[in-house]
Amino acid sequence: MSTLHVTDSLTARRFFPDYVGYWPTQNAVVVTHQGIDPYKLLDGFQILNSTLFPGVPSDVFVHGGFADEHAKTATTILDTVKVLLSLSNASAFIPIGHSLGAALAELDTMFFGLNLPNVYVKSVTYGTPRVGNDKWAGLFDARVPDFIRISNKKDPGPVSTQPYEFFGFRHPHGKIHLAGPAEAYSCPGDDDAADFRCTILQVQTPSVERDS
């Protein structure tokens, strides 16, 4: 079993801890994000911080609560990652997150791609909510080819289908849907409305009825 060497805990700077570490078997620096307060879903769009996301067009909008939470530690995590990259001579950076922490990992993927252009960035997220508008999804698709977001039919909550499409939010590419034991589908496009095996109808939600 491979070991992730945790080198820095940012607990004091976040309500939940994030960890920055080095993964020897992948020769990669990893940042992990835990879930955050689900009420942060209840927010609208805002423009990305141009200092954190240089050069991003002004028509790219993201969820305000996610962006505010990400901004709290973005530069601290960036500084820590730079140190680890230097010490380890790592060849890649991998942000990982679950549920609402996955939204932070998605933002991290773009953030580090812009701020460390010479480092290969790939990402894996789980139960990811929609982070931005269609322009965000399009920019993400163009800049981040190595991205996987995993959903599970047994997910207990509606996070991966929120915020809703009718509010203007869109997923980027990269979805892998787990429909059952030994049953996984690589889903086309961004919000996978064309494949019945991948529609958000497949993700169980006790409180919300969904469409494709």
- Residue 100: which H helix or E strand, with range? helix 100-115
pLDDT above 90 for 95: yes
Least confident of 54-63, 156-165, 183-192: 156-165
Tokens 């010479």 belong to residue = 118
Shortest CA distance to 163 belongs to which of 45, 37, 4, 18? 45
Residue 109 pLDDT grade (very low, low, confident, very high; cuts 50, 70, 90): very high
Per the confidence metrics, is the pTM higher than 0.85?
Answer: no
Q: Which residue has the higher pLDDT, 139 or 177?
A: 139
Answer yes or no: is pLDDT of 135 > 80: yes
- State the chain's mean pLDDT as an integer: 77
Identify the sign of the CA torsion 74, 93, 19, 179: positive
Task: Report pLDDT digits (tens) over 114-127.
Answer: 999 999 999 999 88
Question: What is the pLDDT confidence band of residue 210, given thresholds at 50, 70 and 90?
Answer: very low
- Spell 118-138 as b/e; 16+ CB within 10 A means b: ebebbbbbbbbbbbbbbbbbb
Q: 183: which residues sit within 8 A by CB, 6+ positions away?
A: none
Q: Hey, what are 115's tokens?
A: 């701020």
Residue 72: enclosing H or E segment and its boundaries? helix 64-88
CB-CB neighbours of 16 under 10 Å: 15
Instruction: Please choose, from the candidates 55, 66, 9, the residue with its C-alpha nearest in 3D space to the C-alpha of residue 32.
Output: 9
SS3 of the chain: helix, strand, coil, percent, to 5: 35, 25, 40
SS3 at position 198? coil
Which domains does the chain possess?
Answer: 5-202 (3.40.50.1820)
Over residues 84-107, the mean pLDDT reads 91
pLDDT at 15: 35
